[in-house]
Amino acid sequence: MRIAVVADVHGNLPALEAVLDDIERQAVDRLVVNGDLANRGPDTGAVYERLADHLGGATLGNHDDLMLIATRRRGPPDTQWLDDPFWGTVPWSAAQLEGTGHIERLPMTIKVEEPRAPSLLFSHGSPRHYREGYGVDLTPEVISEITESYPADVLIGSHTHRPHLMRWGRYTVMNTGAVGCPFNGDARAHYLILTLVSGEWVPDFRRVPYDRAAALERIRSSGMLEETGLSAMIFYEEFVHASSFLVPFLMWCETDRREKTRDNWDEFKKRFDVRFREPDAPATVRSSQQP
């Protein structure tokens, strides 16, 4: 039994196509889509269409949920933040999904139980919240809390855009990394394959090169940078550098009581220029049991 898990595509169609080509060569039995197909990149609609046959085995990510909130079909009644031009990519991306009906089908978790195999529980973040990602800050106490409420032997999450592996007692926690926008300084498209071997799920953390130049050109030519707010420019820089900038920028603005403006973004880039280094982008596929 071999299961491929893709997540955090974020509208990056060239990265998704490269990963799907690699998956086709791996002879997997099942594909799980672990959330966040939407936003950040320019091709949310095309990504959903490409994965339409697999959305029956998909979880809801936080950016997917933003698409529902933006179209007023789901979410809190107070959505005034959508009127802030800074967040313009959200309604811009959501418009690509109008009438498709794709997102409504997505659950928060997917559980897989095979005979004589540890049980698997997929969720975009954790089963408690799609923004609670598995990463270096994960503690045994948190694993214990999660597995007590959501029993499973192996927890598979995404969301942080960084691959991760942790074992605690009989529990294993994995993070797939991101197909469309990794945050670990490696610009290849990341995904995970799980293979059942002698009653154990063996991970294969894969990093696949793709045509980044075409992906970046697609962002520039799509109109997203011109038609939406500052967040689009920040997302573009995240694609370029394979690093997280949006959350650090927002935290910096909040701490220094600054507005989310282009001038302050330029100041952020100058002050924290060490963050904006060239990523690794090897032209070969990396395959490893370790992240």
In a 13 Å sphere around the CA of 221, the CA atoms on its Cβ side amount to: 6
For residues 8 and 125, the answer to whether their CB atoms sit within 8 Å is no
Q: Are residue 182 and residue 106 in the same domain, yes or no? A: yes
Rounded Cα gap, residues 157 and 247, in angstroms: 19
Q: Are residue 269 and residue 284 in the same domain, yes or no? A: no
Q: Are residue 162 and residue 220 in the same domain, yes or no? A: no
Q: Are residue 26 and residue 159 in the same domain, yes or no? A: yes
Give the pLDDT score at 189: 98
Angle subtended at Cα 139 by Cα 251 and Cα 160, rounded to the nearest 5 degrees = 45
Q: Are residue 45 and residue 109 in the same domain, yes or no? A: yes
Q: Are residue 249 and residue 136 in the same domain, yes or no? A: no
Rounded Cα gap, residues 48 and 53, in angstroms: 9
Q: Are residue 137 and residue 269 in the same domain, yes or no? A: no
For residues 9 and 47, the answer to whether their CB atoms sit within 8 Å is yes
For residues 207-221, average pLDDT? 97
Rounded Cα gap, residues 59 and 43, in angstroms: 19
Q: Percentage of residues in the chain with pLDDT exceeding 70?
A: 98
Q: How many distinct structural domains can be found in the chain?
A: 2
Rounded Cα gap, residues 57 and 179, in angstroms: 17
Q: Are residue 218 and residue 206 in the same domain, yes or no? A: no
Q: Are residue 201 and residue 218 in the same domain, yes or no? A: no
Give the pLDDT score at 117: 96
pLDDT band at 80 (very low <50, low <70, confident <90, very high): confident
Q: Are residue 129 and residue 256 in the same domain, yes or no? A: no
Domain region containing 182 = 2-210+280-288
**pTM for this model (two decimals):** 0.96
Helix (H, G, I), strand (E, B) or coil at 85: helix
Q: Are residue 180 and residue 262 in the same domain, yes or no? A: no
Rounded Cα gap, residues 31 and 1, in angstroms: 11
Q: What is the mean pLDDT of the chain?
A: 95
pLDDT band at 73 (very low <50, low <70, confident <90, very high): low
pLDDT in tens, 141-165: 999 999 999 999 999 999 999 999 9
Amino acid letter for position 154: V
Give the pLDDT score at 102: 85
Q: Are residue 236 and residue 140 in the same domain, yes or no? A: no
Query: Which CATH number do you get for residue 54?
Result: 3.60.21.10
Rounded Cα gap, residues 125 and 135, in angstroms: 10
Amino acid letter for position 172: T
pLDDT band at 76 (very low <50, low <70, confident <90, very high): low
Residue 75 has pLDDT above 90, yes or no: no
Amino acid letter for position 50: R
In 113-161 the beta strands, taken as DSSP E runs, fall at 120-123, 154-157
